[in-house]
Amino acid sequence: TDTGVSQELLEAGRRAYELDREHVFHSWQAQGPFKPMTIVKTEGSYVWDGEGTRMIDLSSQLVNTNIGHQHPRVVAAIQEQAAQICTIAPQHVNTARSEAARLIAERTPGDLNHIFFTNGGADAVEHAVRMARLHTGRHKVLSAYRSYHGGTQLAVNITGDPRRFDSDYSSEGVVHFMPAYTYRSYFGSETPEQETERALRHLEDMMVLEGPKNIAAIILETVPGTAGIYAPPPGYLAGVRALADRYGIIYIADEVMAGFGRTGQWFAVENYDVTPDLLTFAKGVNSGYVPLGGVAISDAIFETFRDRAYQGGLTYSGHPLAAAAAVATIGAMTDEHMVENAERLGREIIGPRLQEFKAKHPSVGDVRGLGCFWAIELVKNRETREPMAAYGGSSPEMNQVVAAIKAAGVLPFNNFNRIHVVPALNIPDELLIQALDVVDRALTIADGFVTG
């Protein structure tokens, strides 16, 4: 097959870049200095940049394209749906939406049997919180520092990372607590077991001091993603579940990034044997081919809305094109055993290789993850764990490491002092190994910045 890029496509890409700089307002950026990368073509685990250079996509486009790019089954499903019905209002029944809801409900754990569709992750978080508030009649929401829950007003307030600082108003009822994070423990823990015990004691203190009868929900990314892919220590989420039950608080698992196979299970909570009351999803549900998100709702919360209207909705809720893409994506993931493959890639290839990086590169402070969801945390000094870029910021050193990875033909996802290894769940083994070889070489550059 032709993997090259035509002159016409490159010319169109150059024109697109000019128009972008003139008219497109980009998220999370100072508009002036921003130099976005043009992508003129995508296929499988490859993307082609504005010069026509082919790169291995180790980012999955914000941990989104779990099935890779341009999967033929999904492209065909979108085309077929478009030829049939492009759009209907949310109150009407549509085959694609009904089928998507069934496929999702069959895969979510426990009694999360009812699906409310949204356009993406932030609005899924906002609706989940609203449902929890209406169900409990309480208003407060507990969320973790070092978390990311979305860019709309309430979701960004709930977010526990510095991106909320510029928009930190009207956050009525939002209370942040310290998460369990063994590598940078806030509790001085030296083992994961200690971290679990201390983080749970802190969380219970927070609940008691905030007044449980006012707390509607606790929201947690099952494996915090953007904040560093730090999987919870053993027993932590089971402890959260128990505390939520003790105080009548709704447990919302935010699986916008960790869901749909990313961790080697359909949903990340399955790794920890817990079932939340509400579970938010987006991204991997249809690999982002058409915008879609949603909330999976337990039978008990569903009962609250059996006779009482849920006063919330979206014109595009369960949009047929997005739902058809979800049906085809979940079908392809199932038939091609992508979830099992993600588990294998983590266990056989990514995990061992990252451990090797840690053993040989003094700049690697910590490596962690599961499935196709891993982070490498870079430090200037292993003793002090001084990060190679401050939390919430960048640094010339990190920029140089990331530039070296890109120059060698790999598109990484990096945040602050971390390089995330988040390929498609179906990336061919040899491509993944090739990409990890590139990261390995770039870490040698990082080693040069180590001071301690």
Contacting residues toward ligand PMP, per CB under 6 A:
62, 120-122, 125, 148-150, 221, 225-226, 254, 256-257, 282, 293
From residue 381, alpha-carbon distances to 240, 378, 387, 450 in Å are 33, 9, 8, 6
- The residue whose two tokens read 């486009």 is 61
Measured between alpha carbons, how far is 285 from 89 in angstroms, rounded to an integer? Answer: 21
Q: Which is nearer to ligand PMP, 268 or 301 (CB)?
A: 268
The total number of residues written for the chain in this structure: 452
Q: Based on CB atoms, which residue is closest to ligand PMP, 60 or 189?
A: 60
Any idea what DSSP says for residue 427? -
Q: How many C-beta neighbours within 10 Å does residue 362 have? A: 17
Cβ nearer to ligand PMP, comparing 120 with 173: 120
Nearer to ligand PMP, 64 or 94 (CB): 64
CB of 381 to ligand PMP, least distance (A): 30
Provide, rounded to whole angstroms, the least separation between the CB of residue 407 and ligand PMP: 26
Q: Using the minimum distance from each CB to ligand PMP, give the nearer residue, 268 or 364.
A: 268
* Nearest alpha carbon to residue 59 among 376, 419, 322, 395: 419
Q: Closest approach of Cβ 294 to ligand PMP, in Å?
A: 11
Strand, coil or helix: 318: coil
Residue whose token pair is 């769940």: 425
CB of 127 to ligand PMP, least distance (A): 12
CA dist., res. 151 & res. 163, Å (int): 9
Residues 6 or more apart from 353 whose CB is under 8 A from it?
A: 433, 436, 440
Tokens of 107: 């895969």
Closest residue by Cα to residue 439 from 47, 414, 66: 414
Minimum Å distance from CB 221 to ligand PMP?
5
Closer to ligand PMP at the Cβ: 158 or 207? 158
Nearer to ligand PMP, 264 or 294 (CB): 294
Nearer to ligand PMP, 148 or 251 (CB): 148
Residue 109 CB, shortest distance to ligand PMP, in Å, is: 18
CB of 118 to ligand PMP, least distance (A): 9
How far is 411 from 62, CA to CA, in rounded Å?
Answer: 11
Nearest-angstrom CA–CA distance, 264 and 66: 11
CB of 64 vs ligand PMP, minimal distance in Å? 8
Q: Which residue is nearest to ligand PMP (CB)?
A: 121
**CB of 441 vs ligand PMP, minimal distance in Å:** 28
Token couple for 58: 């180790």
Q: CA nearest 120: which of 151, 97, 92, 98? A: 151
Element (H, E) at 174: strand 174-177
- In the bound complex, what is the minimum distance in angstroms from residue 155's beta carbon to ligand PMP? 6
Q: For residues 13 and 179, which CB has a smaller minimum distance to ligand PMP in the complex?
A: 179
State the DSSP code for 263.
T
Amino acid making up residue 201: R
What value, to the nearest 5°, has the Cα angle with vertex 286 and ends 281 and 287?
95
Query: Which is closer to ligand PMP, CB of 125 or CB of 250?
Result: 125
Residue with smaller CB distance to ligand PMP, 128 or 342: 128
CB of 253 to ligand PMP, least distance (A): 10
* Residues facing 252 on adjacent strands: 219, 278
Q: Which amino acid is at 277?
A: D
Query: Residue 438 and residue 404: Cα distance in Å, rounded?
Result: 9
CA distance 320 to 171: 34
